[in-house]
Amino acid sequence: MRVMNGTLVCFHAHPDDEAIATGGVIAQAAASGRRVVLVLATRGELGEVPDGFLDSGETLTSRRVGEVARAAEVLGIARFEFLGYHDSGMAGLPENDAPGSFWSADVEEAAERLATILRDEDAQVLVVYDENGGYGHPDHIQVHRVGVRAAELAGTPRVYEATMNADAIARMMRERADDLAASGIELPDEVTDPEDIKIGVPEAMITTTVDVREFAGVKRAALAEHASQVSDAHFFLAMPPEVFREAFGMEWFIRRDAPPGLRESSLFDPE
């Protein structure tokens, strides 16, 4: 395989976020011969699992570290690192402000930790989240803040904010209303009403739409490795593969400092 120039660093909040938000572009970049590095702010310590899910003596932290290691192998990630912060939990929980939580971390200090990795990798592209973290999770918002600052410190030339296309989701919900109703799949509250989508941004804000349908199977397989958070009954995996391909076969980004009117289909310039 010819090695392509330009390392992609994806910065995420918790294990499984990498597959959900950027699994397609990661697999696509790795398949093209690019080096891909995953950085996780936390180990997802506050994720929820059913009673009896974990083995005797096993912690959720160790389970999620193992899951992301396997998902990274599926996606073709060359290196993954943790910044060393603790999961902050959902918005409004007291854990948000607990000592050591990512939400309570000093942005400059956290950004320097990430910048060290960006410099070490000579990263060409960094992926973070949009300023609302996609849906308002404290750790996701902090990924945006820390990631943007880290790119400034390291001089990383291109930064993309991973997001969702709220208008495209609404269109799909309307077009597939009968199929979704017949499937019995339980969708998250944020996308149950096509007139009131609560994740992502309007289509006009999106600069970059990457078609990753070719890698939808890889993305789905990586998600399946995160079994503590994404069970077979979860709507991601409950969808038939062909429906998953259409629903999650596009990944959307906002390129920071993009020229007005930019519309592109890749995180990298043509080689």
The answer, yes or no, to whether residue 187 has pLDDT greater than 90, is no
Q: pLDDT class for 1, splitting at 50, 70, 90?
A: very low
Between 242 and 177, whose confidence is greater?
242
Dihedral angle over CA of 72, 44, 61, 106, nearest 10: 110
The verdict on residue 176 lying in a domain is: no
What is the average per-residue pLDDT within 60-79? 98
The answer, yes or no, to whether residue 116 has pLDDT greater than 70, is yes
Q: pLDDT class for 173, splitting at 50, 70, 90?
A: confident
The verdict on residue 232 lying in a domain is: yes
Q: Amino acid identity, residue 233? A: A
pLDDT at position 269:
86
pLDDT at position 183:
60
The answer, yes or no, to whether residue 185 has pLDDT greater than 70, is no
pLDDT at position 244:
86
Decide if 218 contacts 27 (C-beta within 8 A): yes
CATH of the domain at 143: 3.40.50.10320
Q: pLDDT class for 156, splitting at 50, 70, 90?
A: very high
Q: What is the C-alpha to C-alpha distance for residues 167 and 135, in angstroms, rounded to an integer?
A: 15
Residue 180: both structure tokens together: 């979704």
The answer, yes or no, to whether residue 2 has pLDDT greater than 50, is no
The mean predicted confidence, pLDDT, of the chain is 91
Q: pLDDT of 207-230, one tens digit each?
A: 999 999 999 999 999 999 999 999
Share of the chain above pLDDT 90, in %: 75
pTM: 0.93
Number of domains forming the structure of the chain? 1
pLDDT at position 3:
46
Run of H or E including 170: helix 166-175
- Residue 132: give the domain boundaries: 7-165+204-255
The verdict on residue 131 lying in a domain is: yes
- For every residue of 228-242, DSSP letters joined together read TTS-TTSHHHHS-HH
pLDDT at position 191:
63
The answer, yes or no, to whether residue 181 has pLDDT greater than 70, is no
The verdict on residue 268 lying in a domain is: no
The verdict on residue 191 lying in a domain is: no
Between the CA of residue 243 and those of 176, 180, 201, what are the distances in Å? Answer: 10, 10, 23
Rg (CA), the chain: 18
185 CB-near residues (< 8 Å, 6+ apart): 235, 238, 239
Q: pLDDT of 31-63, one tens digit each?
A: 999 999 999 999 999 999 988 999 999 999 999
Q: pLDDT class for 170, splitting at 50, 70, 90?
A: confident
The verdict on residue 85 lying in a domain is: yes
The answer, yes or no, to whether residue 180 has pLDDT greater than 70, is no
